[in-house]
Amino acid sequence: MSEAPTIDEKTFCELHPDRETSLRCNKCGRYMCPDCAVPTPVGYRCKQCVRQHEDKFFNASQNDYIIIFAVCAVLSAIAFGITSRIGIPILLMVFIAIPVGTGISELALRSVQRRRGRQSAWVGIGGVVVGALLGIIGMIVLTTGIFPPLDILMRILVADFRTIVFAALIGYFVYNRFKMRM
């Protein structure tokens, strides 16, 4: 006769020995309470296994962050410089943001051989924002020959709602591209 587990056998969370649980990590098999369990696309896992999986996934170096920032900043400076020069209606701006955002995020990802880090998405967004400002300021300097005073620059940025929408959309694409697990 094979040994069947007894029904009244109690199991407890490995980190919280006072909490009774029957939930197990589907990777390493340890018992865990609902507080310790992390829902993942492949089922409940313990925090250690999730962390281990992420460490394998996040393989970016410090240099990668610099490259991502630079690529996003340069490309969005060009994109914002051009679009700020031409009076594009806001609806058209939204449509333009799709290929521009996809292009910038794809190039940024390729420039680091598709390596990602925990902060890659935010670094990319930082690059887009800085690049957008530089592009707009650069275009003002190019066309007027003067560097805009800060208060005037702020007024231009706030008044031009299209720029904010454009930046938000491109930031959204960059964020998603770096968060996507493929």
Q: Which residues bind Zn ion (CB under 5 A)?
A: 13, 15-16, 25, 27-28, 33, 35-36, 46, 49
Residue placing its CB nearer to Zn ion in the complex, 25 or 132: 25
Task: Provide φ and ψ at 31, rounded to 5°.
Answer: -75, 140
Residue burial 149-165, b: 16+ Cβ < 10 Å; e: rest: eeeeeeeebeeeebbee
Supply the minimum distance, in Å, between the C-beta of residue 45 and Zn ion: 5
Cβ 139 to Zn ion, closest distance in Å? 53
Residue closer to Zn ion by CB (options 54, 154) is: 54
As measured in angstroms, the least distance from the Cβ of 50 to Zn ion is 8
Which is closer to Zn ion, CB of 53 or CB of 115?
Answer: 53
Q: Coil, strand or helix: which one is 43? A: strand
Q: Which is nearer to Zn ion, 16 or 85 (CB)?
A: 16
Long-range contacts, stretch 18-26, CB < 8 angstroms, 24+ apart = 25/49
Both structure tokens of 91: 């609806």
Question: Minimum Å distance from CB 30 to Zn ion?
Answer: 5
* Pairwise CA distance, residues 159 & 68, whole Å: 29
